[in-house]
A and B are shown apart, each in its own frame.
Chain A
Amino acid sequence: MKEKRQKTRIKNMTDFTKKTDEELCQLSLENQAAFYELMKRYENKFLSYILRLGQFSKEDAEDILQEVYIKIYTNLNAFNKDLKFSSWGYRIAHNEVISQFRKNKNKFLVHLEDEDWQNLRQEFDLDKEITKKIDNEIIAKILEKMDIKYKEVLILKFLEDKSYEEISDILKKPMGTIATLINRAKKQFKKIYKQSELSKDNRF
């Protein structure tokens, strides 16, 4: 009997990889192995999101991620099944990063990977507008100068590749507002880019 139960448990553990996020979320209430699987599934995604939102050291970002996971775990019963787990998780990660910024009064410095630069360049058509390619450092500076409400939607849309509905669920704002924010964010990005002193120096 005991052996059978252990076999079932092992079978359940191995089956976790086939479960959806939402099923894992439900199973995590009873089984920490399910929660482990859920954490592993999102570790890289959440970590890079935290790093993209602000310039933390990798260690700090990992500490924040731990806090995010603890919050997800203690609030598992608050998960609304009508939502995607990823949207809910991103929302908690987003709130945790904002709360860290408020605590430490840090600036929103931006940390982006090579692939991210490429996405932003394509989206804003920067390479077409300007004769020379602008360097990554300048894009980072533009993002740093942007209002946080615009920057976070740009990151979610173009770097995290989230749909309007997902961004709406993450930031808890209506979809119409998200569309407006993205439009305004694009305008602000281009405006800062054009006004940039570096641009006047004709460095591009």
Chain B
Amino acid sequence: MDIAHKVLEKIKSEKLSPKPRWQFLLKDEFLKVSFIILLIIGGISFSVMFYILFDRDWQFLSRGRLDLVDELLFALPYFWIIVLILFVGVAFYNFRHTQTGYKHKGYLIILISFFGSVLLGFFLFTFGAGQIFDKMLADNFPHFDYRAKYINHMWGRPQEGMLAGKILEIKDGKLLILNDLGNEIWQVDYNKARIAPHFELKPEELVRIWGDEQENHFIKAKEIFPLEPPCPFRSCPLGSKSGFEEMKERIIFMRIKN
């Protein structure tokens, strides 16, 4: 008996039949849809990264107070970078395993996935998705509250003249009473300080202060800015003062833990 006959016999005896077409179509469609979903997740990662990067006080690097490499390493949102690499990697794998995915050059698929995520990320960022997802992550997993960590790291060192907090009171038009991120009370002399343009000092306002610590809990301010940097486009839909109290609680908790 020749091979072809043996195969037909086996098909008959084992009652084999072709698997239905929908199974293969479903698998291919699943891979394509998951590729798109993974790109969207990559885009979300980028939108948060854009939000975080726009939020950093890069102007202080040029003033020689900070080390560029240290600050850059601290500023990176590692969680979102890992999410991005992971999802672009899985997106690449899925695309490669579609019926015709192998025909395309691997580096091109990765570049398209990467730049697709960047573009989508920027688009989402301009509509405020970055802030929303950053806040969602921070609310659910306080360990990943990059903003609180950053604010604490950058503006929680009064001994270096860098302080952030909420204005409680303004005395005589030259002294601020400030409740800082660690819930301590400071007096800030802003008599000779440069105030950020279009920014009015008033109680309840959240501020960053750059100056010199004179003595215990007293700072002579050189510059005062709002705590939240201006949001480009509509990238802060939650408002600039959103979640300040929660952030303060997390910072106090972080300080106790450390």
Contacts and interface: CB of A to CB of B under 8 A. Distances in A.
9 contacts: A36-B8, A43-B3, A74-B17, A74-B19, A75-B19, A76-B18, A77-B20, A173-B102, A174-B103
A65 interface: yes
Interface string A17-52: 000000000001100100110011001000100000
Contacts of B104: 174
A24 to B, nearest CB: 12
A75 B21 CA distance: 9
Interface of A: 28-29, 32, 35-36, 39-40, 43, 47, 62, 65-66, 69-70, 73-78, 80, 82, 168, 172-177
A94 to B, nearest CB: 13
B10 A66 contact: yes
Contacts of A176: 105
B6 A74 contact: no
Interface residues of B, number: 24
B111 interface: no
Contacts of A82: 100
Contacts of B10: 66, 70
Contacts of B103: 168, 174-175
A80 B8 contact: no
Given A35-B8, A168-B102, A174-B102, A78 B24 contact: yes
B16 interface: yes
Contacts of B18: 28-29, 73-77
Interface in B9-47: 10-11, 16-21, 23-24
B7 interface: yes
Contacts of A172: 102
B191 interface: no
A36 B10 CA distance: 13
Given A77-B19, A168-B102, A65 B8 contact: no
B24 A39 contact: no
Contacts of A35: 8
Contacts of A65: 3
B110 to A, nearest CB: 13
B102 A78 contact: no
B16 A70 contact: yes
A55 B8 CA distance: 26
Contacts of A174: 102-106
B214 interface: no
B5 to A, nearest CB: 8
Contact of B11 (A32, A40, A173): A32
B4 A40 contact: yes
Given A74-B16, A74-B19, A76-B18, A69 B102 contact: no
Top 6 nearest A-B pairs (CB, nearest first) are: A39-B4, A172-B102, A77-B21, A76-B18, A78-B24, A69-B7
B11 to A, nearest CB: 6
B99 interface: yes
A113 B11 CA distance: 32
Contacts of A32: 8, 11
